[in-house]
A and B are shown apart, each in its own frame.
Chain A
């Protein structure tokens, strides 16, 4: 299977995408060729999905100000001994 960018052509929806929409998907080769041959979609390009070169956690996650602690947070379960 290859990932590709496709455009829906013709008059009918394909995989829930309306005519004129562009979508990225991983289609198996027979399904892709059937859809292209009967005029449902056109292949714009094959793509190789990858992570962006730089990425980080969302804002507020693990910032430098966060105090690291191994203590259980308030309200966590307490194991009572001797009972």
Chain B
């Protein structure tokens, strides 16, 4: 498989294509490690997979125009809305095995835009899985 430089990624929140206002995406799916260690001759710990926490963090540029980042995300956070999220590596083609789409119903549990003088206005938004299906990759 070819290496790639992330340039054409697709980021959609509540069906709004916010790709041009996003510059980084980081997905995380983590099973809680449940310690089921007993007394053994080696003393090694033993774990089983517990509950799963899935989330995706997107770094957005702050933009305050009509229908842009602020107008999209602020109200979704304020109203505690459950909405769809999608990220895929290449926005020029549809989802496929080689262009998997991370999809799911999410909530924006915190909203924290902020700026530093002289620097690009960016902030991180953490989207947390909001239903039993979770956030996962699809090829169609």
User: Least Cβ distance of B44 to chain A in Å?
Assistant: 51
Q: Which residues of B are at the interface with A, using a C-beta cutoff of 8 A?
A: 14-18, 20, 65-68, 71-72, 75-76, 81, 83
Contact of A12 among B68, B75, B81 (CB under 8 A): B68
Q: Mark A61-77, 1 if CB is under 8 A from B, else 0.
A: 00000000000000000
Can you name 29 A-B pairs with beta carbons within 8 Å? A10-B65, A10-B66, A10-B68, A11-B68, A12-B16, A12-B67, A12-B68, A13-B17, A14-B15, A14-B17, A15-B15, A16-B17, A31-B14, A31-B15, A31-B83, A34-B14, A34-B75, A34-B81, A35-B14, A35-B16, A37-B75, A38-B66, A38-B67, A38-B71, A38-B72, A38-B75, A39-B67, A40-B16, A40-B67
Residues of the A chain whose Cβ atoms lie less than 8 Å from the Cβ of B67:
9-12, 38-40
Q: Which of A11-49 contact B (CB under 8 A)?
A: 11-16, 30-31, 34-35, 37-40
Report how many residues on chain A are interfacial, defined by Cβ distance under 8 Å: 16
Instruction: Give Cα A31–Cα B13 distance, bound, in whole angstroms.
Output: 12
B15, B65, B83: which has the most chain A beta carbons within 10 Å? B15
Q: Is the interface of A mostly helix, strand, loop or mixed?
A: loop
Instruction: Give Cα A39–Cα B66 distance, bound, in whole angstroms.
Output: 6
Knowing A10-B66, A34-B81, say if A39 contacts B71 (CB, 8 Å). Answer: yes
Instruction: Give Cα A10–Cα B71 distance, bound, in whole angstroms.
Output: 12
A12, A14, A34: which has the most chain B beta carbons within 10 Å? A12
User: Least Cβ distance of A42 to chain B in Å?
Assistant: 11
